[in-house]
Structure 1
């Protein structure tokens, strides 16, 4: 085999590799953090205020998982108070597995969430609520097992 054939083989292998990379990159799914991140960015001041308000509570919201449930427990000063808000289970690796639930704590300030709503893996749990027209916000990473 002479050097001309070797050059042609190298170019063909290079072109095949390049086509393979382009094909794989076109098929890769890329999720945005949120589909409407611009409007979410404009609302971020509420998150900052909510974090400050939540930091002023006697204890943070406790998020713990048991065998079949995840318990979201609010501090004592929030028990039997009217709270409106939501709990968001944000899955960074797949937005299709995100779960939004309305906040409905019982009289002891606890809300139990079934693990059957979630798949195993890492979630960022975002708890947003309003009490007396004041925003509150807390987030925590958790691995669902």
Structure 2
């Protein structure tokens, strides 16, 4: 059978489309290539956005802010000096944008003005720190991006 250029072009085009479709299907179904760049229940979180803005504004009215620094033991969060740390309650969420399996949340119960997040919980890379806390009936929110 003799093949002309039109038949050869059609065969090459079909093979190219098959090659591209193979990789599209492989990447969309293989868990190895699964990257979650948004949080779970994104729209539900958007509904409480105004409260978060108000809580963040409350944090800006404080005389001091939460400071974070890397130490040998891990990531150290330091709360303002003028607050009674025993009255502070809330949660600390460390969110990893590249891998939701690394996200974790710890309760905020202070026995001193500092909170240490252990080094063994943090993998090198970018983390978003979100601290939702309450002090004397007032809600506060602190957000910070860290590179560990």
* TM score, norm. by length of structure 2: 0.86
Which segment drifts farther, 21-30 or 52-61?
21-30
Kept after mapping to 1: 8 A contact 2:129/2:143:
yes
**Structure 1 residues 39, 113: CA separation in 2 closer, same or farther (over 3 Å shift)?**
same
Aligned residue for 1:64, secondary structure, equals strand
Q: How many residues align?
A: 143
Q: Residue in 1 aligned with 2:54?
A: 49
Q: Residue in 2 aligned with 1:99?
A: 104
Kept after mapping to 2: 8 A contact 1:124/1:139:
yes
Distance 2:26 2:73 in 1: 38
* TM score, norm. by length of structure 1: 0.87
Which segment drifts farther, 19-28 or 81-90?
19-28
**By how many angstroms is 1:13 displaced?**
2.5
**Structure 1 residues 110, 79: CA separation in 2 closer, same or farther (over 3 Å shift)?**
farther
1:139 to 2:143 alignment: yes
Distance 1:76 1:45 in 2: 28
Q: 5 Å matches for 1:1-145?
A: 2-27=4-29, 28-31=33-36, 33-107=38-112, 109-144=113-148
Moved over 4 A (4+): none
Distance 1:33 1:85 in 2: 23
Distance 1:78 1:55 in 2: 14
* CA deviations over 1:70-115 (Å, ceiling 9, x no partner): 11100012133411101110100111110101112223x1111101
